[in-house]
Structure 1
Amino acid sequence: MNILYGIYFIFLNSINLSKSTTPNVLIFLVDDLGYGDLGCYGNSTIDSPHIDSLARDGARYTQMYSAAPICTPSRAGFLTGRYPIRLGLTSNDNRFRTFNSPGQSGGLPHDETTVAQVAQELGYRTGLVGKWHLGLGRDGEHLPTRHGFHTFFGMPVTNVQTCGNKKVYNLIGGHGEILDRSFFSYWITLTGKIWLTIIVVALVTWLFYSRKLAFIILIICAIGFFVGMWYTLSFTLLSRSSCLLYRNETIIEQPIHLEDLTLRNTNEATRFMTETVQIHKKPFFLYMAYVKVHTALFTLPENVGRSRHGAYGDNIEELDWSVGKIIQTLKILNIENDTLIFFSSDNGPFLERGIEAGFCGRAMASSGKLSKPLRGAKGQTWECGIRVPGIVRWSGHVVSGQTIESISSLLDFYPSLLELWNVESMPDRPLDGVSLWSNLKFISSTIQVRKERNTLFHYCGSTIAAVRQGKYKAHYWTPTWDEGMRACPSVTICPCLSTEHSPPLLFDIEADPAEESPLDIENYADVLSMMNTAIQEHQATLVSVPNQLETLALPWLFPCCNSQGWTRMIRLITNSCQC
């Protein structure tokens, strides 16, 4: 930690905060939850009474936006209050939009200050339960315990289809179709066109040039094919060994057992809160980052078939049970009124997963009537990919039953807490979020709001794909969907920089949240001029930083539990890391 940060933390420790400004902080962040998946957002087929009660007893946001349309950059923005491009956690390469292996060297930079670090220095006991997905690095250098969390129980990377079973999606056009296939046949499916091209080239070489050269081409390509298959299935998310469960900095399960993971995570969360209050006598900062509802879906056997909406509904209802259990613990500890709760999702639903994905939901048009379902999905800057549920509850402080229609973002939670704690942000680390408090009604409050939002930039990777100002949203880039779909199962997830628009597509989001009727661009020159000016001013504040995502997994960095030296190498080569 550099000298400047040391001075900053000394300053934090010198602040005398009252109990009213140091409530317990409980964050529920769900993975891939759709805007329309909950009862409080209009869903009538899935029961979510405990989450709905948070909205009833607090404030529900109708225009809450993720910090990015996909996991890693969105979570980084949430924890730092800064656009992920400032952190080196963005990529325009569809292969590196998130961390895709625990063997990658990159991670959340250590010169960034997470909200957990600030809380820790203010005397909070901090814990993370669930999904991290912000890097693991050499010897765990990027684990949550190195970024302000006293305790960590969860997955350092992410849950994927491989973690659940050997069923994988047919990515070649079968939207929602699940096939029983081996990893070998899956690899052939993914590389079939390349392999066919090689065979054709070798055949032409054989017939018209040299049989010896054709034979050499085939041998070299065959070796490359099997080495590539071994590498991909051993050191990326297609390997079950990448499905890790950590306690602090120690692997306790590899591969992870998913079925009862929500139960275990819930028990960890309630234990953390209880120990912090009763033993440590401190306020807590708990980041409950659910592994749900990212595929592979999983529930306890007793929860299978409960929902009217199949397996996905079962997962939401088990999620709701967990939220209810944690809220019940607050009541048992008699700290419900001393706990600030925030609930949201890291991005929109993963529609490429068909029947295992959530809903795009419906948003209210300015007429007050329900609009059509939101457009797009996870990975895209259409509304469905970035508009997420957002709930704030602080009993006894925030007036219950509020609906907040102003434009808000996951970037905003960090500066909101800084204002609550009366802490200044680092001068050389400009925050891109603004306080949520300005639009909330309080029973009584002395919070001083310092800034209001003017513009929200929606990044796809390292490129601004869309801009929101007031009721207007301009799309400079959009994805190209697979035919007849609003998703891209042929390439796993849509590249969102497929089609450039100059001039951009412009929508009145308040009147047309479904983004179906572009405005006549000639009549909105002033609007676009202000947006372009905002883009230029924003980009002038960006400083080039090392990219953390665009690195291949290194076998010697891939974690393998309970093994060292030659034993570890053999287990890595044979893809048999287990504990």
Structure 2
Amino acid sequence: MNIKLFITTLFCVITLQVVAQPKAKPNVIVILSDDAGYADFGCYGGKEIPTPNIDALAKNGVLFTNAYVTAAVCAPSRAGLLSGRYQQRFGFEHNTSSKPVNGFQLTDVGLDPSVKTIGNQMQANGYKTIAIGKWHLGEEEKHFPLNRGFDEFYGFIGGHRNFFAYNKQPKRELQLLHNRKAVPEGEVYYLTDMFTDKAISFVKENQKNPFFMYLAYNAVHTPINAQQELMQQFAHIQNAERRAYAAMMTSLDRNIGKLVATLKEQKLYENTLIVFLNDNGAATNNAADNGVLRGLKGSKWEGGIRVAYIMQWPAKLPANQVYNPMISAMDITPTAIAASEGKALKGQVLDGVNLLPYLLDPKKAVPHQDLFWRRGVAAAVRSGDWKLIRTANNPLLLFNLQDDVSEQNNLASTYSQKVKQLEKKLQNWEQKMQQPHWISDYGDDNQIKKHRMEVIGREMEIKYP
């Protein structure tokens, strides 16, 4: 054989083999905790409850210090995260309720079928998808995870349920479901463990396929159900509710550690993008701690909307970064699409931003100059360091968060022009949004009361859940 022809042929074969083996797409895992306190994570300054596995995500990735969700309560926060859009664009302003407004039916209470989720986006880019844990985005078949971009579902569709088994089969919104089939309560063990075990089995089953996992733990939402053996670890905590909460946080952290260990065992760790965040601030009823942040779940104070938020991708993102500019839970969807080297589905306005260019080049301009919130009578805007809170029947509140992260000094009377500027931004944003498709079952009174300057501290705030 002609040696020159042989070498040319060999070169072509090698070239074809290289071309035929494209770079593997990263797996993407979004881990959502529920109602945790901002100051209850070690990487955010927590001292009382060790969270070594969550802290390790931050050490090996990026910790965000000005990270926000789109709502201070569970369901609309999830709608914003999963859609990559302000949920007010499609009328999902309140927690799911029994009070649709004129023009809508009770069956419309949930994530509008016209809205594509991150699951739809990742499916379109060749990913196997699963939703695990709490759904809370509607109870009709049209809202069900298997119809919303997920190939598999393992969780419950309501807003909460017991972590242990019920004595008898509960109503459907409380049932643990595998796809559409209820798991017998006799097979239910501690839910945080069950969700992790399912996540681990999914990872092993899809070792050779790119996958997207939405792992929405219901920990540490009420009911305060803790494992007794972990309670003993915190015997030094005198408050029984806080002691149980600490045990639940420890279970959450350990289970995240088990999932990360599985990724390492399966040789998937380096090329897996993991996002961890909390769905809103500490709840009024679970003994969680927001530290220096004022307010709790349900409020536009920082303690209601600023959350723990971490992103790790060892193959791509430098480790041990702290990122200070504002980001949002809405950014997860466009970031995941970009990581998969895919394209967003047509017809979906994404308010979120792909964070990867900003994290790879810290000198790049900030992802968001303005962020907005509204739930009924209470609304807010943050623009740079300035934040305005507007609540019906209350005075306008203005804070400079750079100087006053605890929101103790209302500067509205001192900076009237800044108030007008932020009011205008908020009004312009609202004009682009829809009115709520349903209203809250709980009314507006508590929201008005909790946004008064004199309501300070947990003891006062728990009066207005």
| Normalised TM-score (structure 1) | 0.65
Aligned positions of 1:313-352 closer than 5 A:
313-351=246-284
- Tell me the residue number matched to 1:357: 287
**Which letter maps to 1:304?**
M
Name which of 432, 436, 440 aligns with 1:541.
Answer: 432
**Which letter maps to 1:264?**
M
User: What is the alpha-carbon distance in structure 2 between the residues aligned to residue 109 and residue 95 of structure 1?
Assistant: 16
Could you report, residue by residue, the CA deviation over 1:500-545 in whole angstroms, capped at 9, with x for unpaired residues?
Answer: 32xx2110011101000111534340x2333233223323323468
- Tell me the residue number matched to 1:246: 177
Could you report, residue by residue, the CA deviation over 1:320-364 in whole angstroms, capped at 9, with x for unpaired residues?
Answer: 11000000000010011110000001101112x1xx321112xxx
User: What is the alpha-carbon distance in structure 2 between the residues aligned to residue 63 and residue 51 of structure 1?
Assistant: 18
User: What is the alpha-carbon distance in structure 1 between the residues aligned to residue 219 and residue 338 of structure 2?
Assistant: 31
Aligned residues with identical type, % of pairs: 32
User: What is the alpha-carbon distance in structure 1 between the residues aligned to residue 95 and residue 222 of structure 2?
Assistant: 23
Which runs of 5 or more structure 1 residues have no equivalent in the other structure? 1-15, 98-102, 167-238, 362-372, 444-448, 478-496, 553-579
Query: Partner of 2:66: helix, strand, or coil?
Result: strand
Change (3 A) 1:275 1:88: same
Shift of residue 405 of structure 1? 1.0
User: What is the alpha-carbon distance in structure 2 between the residues aligned to residue 117 and residue 514 of structure 1?
Assistant: 39
Question: Are 1:475 and 1:506, in contact at CA under 8 Å, matched by a contact in 2?
Answer: yes
- Tell me the residue number matched to 2:157: 156
Query: What is the aligned length?
Result: 409
Task: Pick which of 338-347 and 248-257 moved more.
Answer: 248-257
User: What is the alpha-carbon distance in structure 2 between the residues aligned to residue 335 and residue 417 of structure 1?
Assistant: 17
Aligned positions of 1:163-202 closer than 5 A:
none
- Tell me the residue number matched to 1:116: 119
Shift of residue 93 of structure 1? 10
Name which of 380, 384, 409 aligns with 1:517.
Answer: 409
Q: Does residue 414 of structure 1 match 2:306? A: no
Could you report, residue by residue, the CA deviation over 1:413-468 in whole angstroms, capped at 9, with x for unpaired residues?
Answer: 1122233344454564322222322431379xxxxx9993121002224x561110
Change (3 A) 1:345 1:92: closer
Q: CA RMSD in A?
A: 3.1
Name which of 210, 213, 216 aligns with 1:286.
Answer: 213
Question: Are 2:32 and 2:278, in contact at CA under 8 Å, matched by a contact in 1?
Answer: yes
Could you report, residue by residue, the CA deviation over 1:40-87 in whole angstroms, capped at 9, with x for unpaired residues?
Answer: 111111011111000111110111111100000000000001111122
Change (3 A) 1:465 1:542: closer
User: What is the alpha-carbon distance in structure 2 between the residues aligned to residue 126 and residue 45 of structure 1?
Assistant: 36
Question: Are 2:378 and 2:390, in contact at CA under 8 Å, matched by a contact in 1?
Answer: yes
Shift of residue 379 of structure 1? 0.7
Query: Partner of 1:429: helix, strand, or coil?
Result: coil
- Tell me the residue number matched to 2:9: none
Change (3 A) 1:92 1:106: closer
Name which of 466, 473, 477 aligns with 2:387.
Answer: 473
Question: Are 2:84 and 2:352, in contact at CA under 8 Å, matched by a contact in 1?
Answer: yes
Aligned positions of 1:98-497 closer than 5 A:
106-137=109-140, 140-160=141-161, 242-253=173-184, 257=188, 260-277=190-207, 281-307=208-234, 308-309=236-237, 310-351=243-284, 353=285, 356-361=286-291, 373-425=292-344, 428-441=347-360, 452-461=367-376, 465-477=379-391
User: What is the alpha-carbon distance in structure 2 between the residues aligned to residue 505 and residue 35 of structure 1?
Assistant: 22
User: What is the alpha-carbon distance in structure 2 between the residues aligned to residue 323 and residue 250 of structure 1?
Assistant: 26
Could you report, residue by residue, the CA deviation over 1:133-176 in whole angstroms, capped at 9, with x for unpaired residues?
Answer: 00121xx331111101111111111225798889xxxxxxxxxx
User: What is the alpha-carbon distance in structure 2 between the residues aligned to residue 61 and residue 17 of structure 1?
Assistant: 35
Question: Are 1:81 and 1:411, in contact at CA under 8 Å, matched by a contact in 2?
Answer: yes
Question: Are 1:28 and 1:289, in contact at CA under 8 Å, matched by a contact in 2?
Answer: yes
- Tell me the residue number matched to 1:198: none
Change (3 A) 1:81 1:242: closer
Query: Partner of 2:288: helix, strand, or coil?
Result: coil
